[in-house]
Chains A and B, each alone.
Chain A
Amino acid sequence: MAIEHLLYLSAFLFSIGLVIIITKRNAIMMLLGIELMLNAANLNLVAFGYDGKIEGQVFALFVVIVAVCEAAVGMAIVLRVYHYYTTSVPDDISNLKEQR
């Protein structure tokens, strides 16, 4: 399989992730979109390491770890928001803007 196919796949994944972030209103769905974008990047990094460049694969591992940390903190924040507002839709939460 040529490397181009993998790049097209990763570009496709990245676009899906970006569209999810822009169109979906739920914070959990947005987290999913972010995860897709990160995995698209991982796919690129591993694909570009085809000729023995180990750097990219190491970076991909780091990205996985970073994504896990981010998701953990993100879930905690979403949980706290849900506790206060009983919703996880960011558009419905607008205490801060009303004060203007």
Chain B
Amino acid sequence: MNRIFEYLLPPQRSTVASEVDSLFTFINVTGFILFMGIMITILIFVIKYRRKSEDDVTPVITHNSILEVTWTVIPIILILIVFSWGFRGFLTLSTPPSNAYEINVTAAAWFWEFRYPDGGTTMNEVYVPVDRPVKFIMRSDDYLHSMYIPDFRVKMDVLPNRYTTAWFEATDTGQSLLFCAEYCGTGHSDMLATVHVLSGNDFEEWLETGLEVDEDMPLAELGEQTFTSAGCNACHTLDGTDRIGPSLAGLFGTDRELDDGSVVEADEDYLRRSLLDPQAEVTAGYPANMPSYAGRLNERQIDGLIAFIKELQDE
């Protein structure tokens, strides 16, 4: 039977997972027994009391107090058990330990940004230590989003007007997926991030080196890396097909017709303005919903992206 539940649920990779799963299992097993009881009774009745002739006479049974009290009281007991059990787990889920490692999370259509307490930011990738409580303090830049990591059994909506929090303590190193679970428009199903759970030492080491920008990396290569790490790929393709925004292939140097009718050349300056103040000059035919990257990307990353886009034109 364990194999059934292992199949039904994602791997248990946080401290709360086993408690949530045990309640899931309890309700399933109890429910299954109840369900089979009802179905077998129906089956027996259908076979045993099938109509033998049109003149069948049936007894008049209007009620039976003992039976009715029984099937009222037993479900009440069961639901009280389920309620208290779920309540206990919920209490754990909503009380982050005070020593939790805090990461600030910003959700925006359609990417996740993670800011670490010692400075440094990652996008669509989050690095956390194993066996240590981690608390996400979350806010949204625009719509409602919801932070959902199935492997950890945590989910919390992310709101534009106030902080919400969620916490977990990962039990295994490795990677888990983070989904946006609250519908947020076109790119909703692409708003994914990867949670990297590192051992204590690896995490310390990553904090030292991982957040540093490699100053020697060629600009275009840095741009290519930023293209995915900053979540540009959720809306822009590199193969000429339209997604939410225009494809970046062959974009550089072309004339862009804007939604106010004016035409502007896609030069370095235009690309920079589009990153920092995207609503100012929107290409006609595309929605004006790109978030601003001002303060999210450093100068070198912006230069890198421009170099990367330039290079796409040569191919």
Partners in one complex: no
Which residues of B are in contact with A by a Cβ distance under 8 Å?
Answer: none
Which residues of A are in contact with B by a Cβ distance under 8 Å?
Answer: none
